Structure 1
Amino acid sequence: MKPSFLLLSITNLALMSVTAVFGLLVQGAAGFERHFLLGILTAMFTCFVHIVAFMYFVVQEKIIRQACLSDGLDVAFHVQAVAMKSRALRLSMVGICTVLLAAMIGAAIGILVPAEVHLLAAFCAILVNAFLVVFQYALIDEFGRVSQRAFPEG
């Protein structure tokens, strides 16, 4: 999972950065459509990446729970899996909420907010998601070690 997560996360951060650069290049109506469409793609892809990361923990927790129920695996592994799944959900929701907030603020430019607010929100979303990659990667790594202890044969 770690290589796949890194690939998705790096692609997501690159897409966020490209979208931000094209946003900086918008001059009136020129370039707006491209930035708008990239913004929608970025928001959807960011949600996808965070949902994939969270679903990894959901599936692994179910595997460990089933092993506890049917094969006598120590329940402490399930307790750890549930705690990690909860942390993964919180991290994923922070990433999703920041990018959706930036997108909604972008949609409100000229109506409710100036463009500078969207710019600030977008750069904050990029920074937050960059930090989240580190935390989520560490959590995936930690979960891998728990899985290795729970299932040493495979």
Structure 2
Amino acid sequence: MSRFVISILAGLSLTTSLYASDDSMTNHPQKLSKAEIAGDIFKDKRLVVMTHEGEDGPYQTEDVENFLSTDKKFDSGMYRSGPVRMTLEPYGVDEFMYFLEGGVTLTSEDGTVTEIKAGDAVTIAKEWRGTWDTKGYTKIYVIYSPTPMGEE
């Protein structure tokens, strides 16, 4: 599993512990308001800020988990990242992303380039291999992992 995915999952694991006794997360619909989507969510007490190591050096991420299923295999929230370039071998989780700001260039190992910009959505399979290159972005994410989050 790539360092990127391990870092994301480690962050999700930290976030998960904040909800260990909060049944409201699964007993009620979890909404992201306009204000939260506009950036207020990153002021939330659930915010997890981490520094990771990319191919070009360290970068910072901010993650607020909005939902975690009771089996810890399905997860959603908002995520913000600084500039990073990394090779993923493989991606490690199935993820749908809607980009609110910034974007990412995804270069598959066969050389296919997919540009994702603010307003675009993309789905990446856990088996995907390639290079992730960004100047920074903010996204809404939905992740499915056959292995429960925090148990990688």
> Normalised by the size of structure 2, how large is the TM-score?
0.26
Task: Give the structure with the higher percent helix.
Answer: 1
Greater strand proportion: 2
Q: TM-score, normalised by structure 1?
A: 0.26
